Structure 1
Amino acid sequence: MQGLGWIASIIVGGLAGWIASSIMGTHTGVIANIIVGIVGGMVGNWLLGLAGINMRAGNAIAQGIAALVGAMFMIWVVQGLA
């Protein structure tokens, strides 16, 4: 997650992962939520970038939205593979 420090990335990623797992109906633990949220932030920035939407402002809300989108996409892909 660009523009955020490590602690902020963990907090924003954890929240995004938790919200995404709640929306998608998965029940994962705190560590899994943080990992899905942080990786989801990278995936979300990439996906939104393909759509022409720039979320790399460095603010926590923009990165949280990107992480939420990415985390939901990742959960959807993993559920589809299972």
Structure 2
Amino acid sequence: MSFLWSLIIGGIIGWLAGMIIGRDIPFGIVGNIIGGFVGAWLGSLILGNWGPVVAGYAIIPSLIGAIVLVFILSLILKGIRKAS
């Protein structure tokens, strides 16, 4: 059951990051989940584990990490599209 919660919260974090930045994460819901997982790891690595914790995710650092990840990915994908 905790794995299911991790998928749900990871997807929500990835979706929120995309909404805040105003850019979509590639691959839809799967991209949101992966973005949420990687963003949570990145955020906890940089900022630590503080703030409210839901399903093993410290929400604020995870969201900040996901926002950074979505922003970097959007810049990379934009550069690749221009080069093509």
TM-score, normalization by structure 2: 0.71
> Structure 1: where are the runs of 5+ without partners?
none
Which 5+ residue runs of structure 2 have no aligned equivalent?
Answer: 80-84
2:33 maps to which residue? 34
> RMSD over aligned Cα, in angstroms?
2.2
TM-score scaled by length of structure 1:
0.73
Greater relative contact order structure (CA < 8 Å, 6+ sep): 1
CA distance in 1, matches of 2:5, 2:11: 10
Identity level (%): 33
Is residue 13–residue 64 contact of structure 1 (8 Å, CA) maintained in 2?
no
After the TM superposition, list the runs of 4 or more consecutive aligned residues in structure 1 that deviate by more than 6 angstroms.
none
Are the equivalent residues in 1 in contact too, given 2:51–2:59 (CA < 8 A)?
Answer: no
Paired residues, number: 73
More strand by share: 2
Q: Bigger radius of gyration, 1 or 2? A: 2
Out of 3, 7, 18, the position equivalent to 1:6 is: 3
